[in-house]
A and B are shown apart, each in its own frame.
Chain A
């Protein structure tokens, strides 16, 4: 249920992003979802890929600073207010969203949103209780 997300530290230098996607491409690793958080000096690139172990290995070999975090993918009804319902459930259970980003693909009539929580297990049980669909990790990494 938990999905492995790869985070990479990048300085704000031109070409750095292309270098990373290039390395992944050459190694046949497909990017499933991504988000880039940036400050004036540096950014953190967060990726979900089809083979996170391999991605971690090849990026480390190229001396990138990489870490793995667990996130979940949630199916959100693709209609007005769809996301609000989910955020309210989390709020009720006092789970904080550290950050979130939308998945590139749609799943049926739903949009997929990736969430990073301060307490992932609490978030999973709260969402399950309220019948929110959490996508299995293969579904996200292997489609």
Chain B
């Protein structure tokens, strides 16, 4: 099913000329109204009139998360506050949050794109959408809420937390679609099992999951444990919120980026150069319809590749591959690049360990040390030491073989690694604190 046939299946040529027109308007607009962009374009020696083709986009400077922090709170807004109808902010775990403002039209576009996303994920009028994304400054809750209403589904505005109540509502209200982070969906399954609820037998059929990188293995586990189709959704508050891209239920292979509103590029995160289609690198997004806070070549830090081949669902919009990590989640352990998602993939292949893990990085003298904490489960637990030690040796060896980094594996008691009700905290890096 497709929500907006006209735009979602627009032939590439028409789509690209629409992109160029909208890009030119956006560049004109930010140059005229946002001092930050006027300065950075001037510094790069480029005028809005120089943008004559989509390729000219590469000539524009990047926008970094730091630029948003530096202009805290409203410095990057391109319209006066009277035209802003909503303000969201990112979590701001490091430093000040990044603030985004939406005009009425921005909210309307976001709602449209979330509606497209819900329909692409196989939901429709009549569905009961259990929205467990957090409501508040975080964009997840309200973003999903508006989109679901536009589709005509019934929304339960659960927000995060209070897991037992969530399960009760899910059972009693007959929720058919779950929206939350992937790790929270597994947590729901775990709590359901403890409460003696067979979550597989509930009416849930689809999970629209996002907000953190997750692996294909984790998808299989979620689909198996909750008996649902698990659909990957992409978004970030700086660009809009959830619904920047989504997998279609037909292919479940790559996330369509709504290209009539965003232009995706893939760059080499070290050099900043644009990579040819199909190569893996950092995703950079330019917004081409936003009014409140348009962003030019925003560096998302998400690592993926761009797929331009046509999709079986009929949508013409390019896809990004499932995220393989964030360039700022990347740990450098003794000179080796390690993504938490790679470790997760290793753990999923070892029988008898739970997908709950935490990475602890320390510096011992001049040497980085990586400790992988993994929960044992009832199946893998043995009264024989050598079996448990064998388990940690296997994990250690697999990580060494696959990632080329030596780590220490610590088996911990079940349910002792903190469960997230939002984004999972996978890495504790104690190195910065010391030097």
Residues of A within 8 A of B (CB): 5, 7, 9-11, 37, 39, 41-42, 44, 46, 63-67, 69, 98-99, 116
Contacts and interface: CB of A to CB of B under 8 A. Distances in A.
Interface stretch (B43-51, B99-107, B375-383): B375-383
A37 B376 contact: no
B385 interface: yes
Interface of B: 376-378, 381-385, 388-389, 410-416
A58 to B, nearest CB: 16
Contacts of B383: 5, 7, 44, 46, 67, 69, 116
A27 to B, nearest CB: 20
Contact of A67 (B381, B389, B415, B416): B381
B413 A39 contact: no
Q: Which 3 A-B pairs rank lowest in CB-CB distance, beginning with the nearest?
A: A7-B383, A65-B381, A69-B383
B384 A98 contact: yes
Given A63-B415, A64-B413, A98-B384, 5 more contacts: A11-B412, A42-B412, A65-B381, A67-B381, A67-B383
Contacts of A42: 388, 410-412
A101 to B, nearest CB: 12
B381 A11 contact: no
26 contacts: A5-B383, A7-B381, A7-B383, A9-B376, A9-B388, A9-B411, A9-B413, A10-B413, A11-B413, A11-B416, A37-B385, A39-B388, A42-B411, A42-B412, A44-B385, A44-B388, A63-B414, A65-B381, A65-B414, A67-B378, A67-B381, A67-B382, A69-B383, A98-B384, A116-B383, A116-B384
Secondary structure call for the B interface: loop
A104 B108 CA distance: 75
Nearest to A46: B383
A106 to B, nearest CB: 25
A97 to B, nearest CB: 12
A98 B385 CA distance: 10
A98 B388 CA distance: 14
A98 B384 CA distance: 8
Contacts of B385: 37, 39, 44
B416 to A, nearest CB: 7
Nearest to B416: A11
Interface centre among A9, A37, A116 (most CB of B within 10 A): A9
Contacts of B414: 63, 65
A126 B385 CA distance: 26
Interface centre among A5, A63, A116 (most CB of B within 10 A): A63
A131 B382 CA distance: 31
